[in-house]
Amino acid sequence: MELKMKIEGMMCPHCEAAVKKALEAIPTVESAEASHERGEAVVKLSAETPFETLKKAVEELDYKVIAD
Give the pLDDT confidence of 39-61 residue by residue, as tens digits: 999 999 999 999 999 999 999 99
Task: Please tell me the distance from the alpha carbon of residue 45 to that of residue 1, in angstroms, as a whole number.
Answer: 5
Q: Is the dihedral of CA 46, 37, 51, 55 positive or negative?
A: positive
Give the pLDDT confidence of 10-25 residue by residue, as tens digits: 999 999 999 999 999 9
Nearest by Cα to 32 from 57, 8, 11, 66: 57
Query: Is the pTM here over 0.85, yes or no?
Result: yes
Question: What's residue 67's pLDDT?
Answer: 62
* Fold annotation for 2-67: Alpha-Beta Plaits (3.30.70)
Check if the beta carbon of residue 5 is closer than 8 Å to that of residue 61. Answer: no
Domain ranges of the chain: 2-67
